[in-house]
Structure 1
Amino acid sequence: MVGNFISEFETVTEYWSPKVVAQVNDQYVKVAKVKGDLAWHKHDGEDELFYIVKGNLTIEYENNSLKLNQGDFHVVPKGVMHNLVADEECWIVLTEPVSTKHTGDIVTEKTKSIADQLVS
């Protein structure tokens, strides 16, 4: 398989709507455009890797926050409450287990099911 992240981002039309672009063993590779904030949540059994392709992303934790710039990556450990915030449009690549629910332990109007994320 050969893919192109930039081409995949061109097909993303909604913020906070991850799209699965590949699977590596039991991990999905997803692309998403984000702007604004998502929701405070956690994933009890899964770590998440975020890679910033374009823009800036702040990952808020209960006691601090971390600003990621283009080219940065960060792993949010399983079980840790976090919220994602992007003041301007940001393009991210996520790598996470196939079982990972979009907004973890909560459901909001922004929550996307795995089925929604698999739709091309």
Structure 2
Amino acid sequence: MDEYKRPTAKELLDSELMQFQAQIEKTNEKKDKGENEETNQKINELELKVRQLEAEKEKERRRTDQAEQRKKVSEDEKHKMQEGQLDMEEILKKIQQFNSQEIQEITQSGWIEMKNELEKQEK
């Protein structure tokens, strides 16, 4: 056998160390890849939660807007009813004034008629 072609102990040791180093690097790469996948999965889960919370926030904002709109409509209707009540009170006062004036006129005209009839009877 050719002694020069056989690897030396140092070469064998270096070769074995290189293989160990390669295995360590592969293991580290797998570990990093696994950690990256885990991190990516957590990021995806958190992004999903964020989207869900944003959707809930938007729904709550819509509910709040609708409640405020209903409140405004209710207040507007209440205000209109109050205005209507005031208008109705004014109308009733005018009717009462008109009725009292009419009653006075009727009473005066009634007295005049009664006076005229009495005068006719006397003649």
TM-score of the two chains, using structure 2 as the length reference: 0.12
Greater RCO structure (CA 8 Å; 6+ sep): 1
Judging by fraction of residues, say which structure has more strand.
1
**Higher share in helix:** 2
TM-score after normalising by structure 1? 0.12
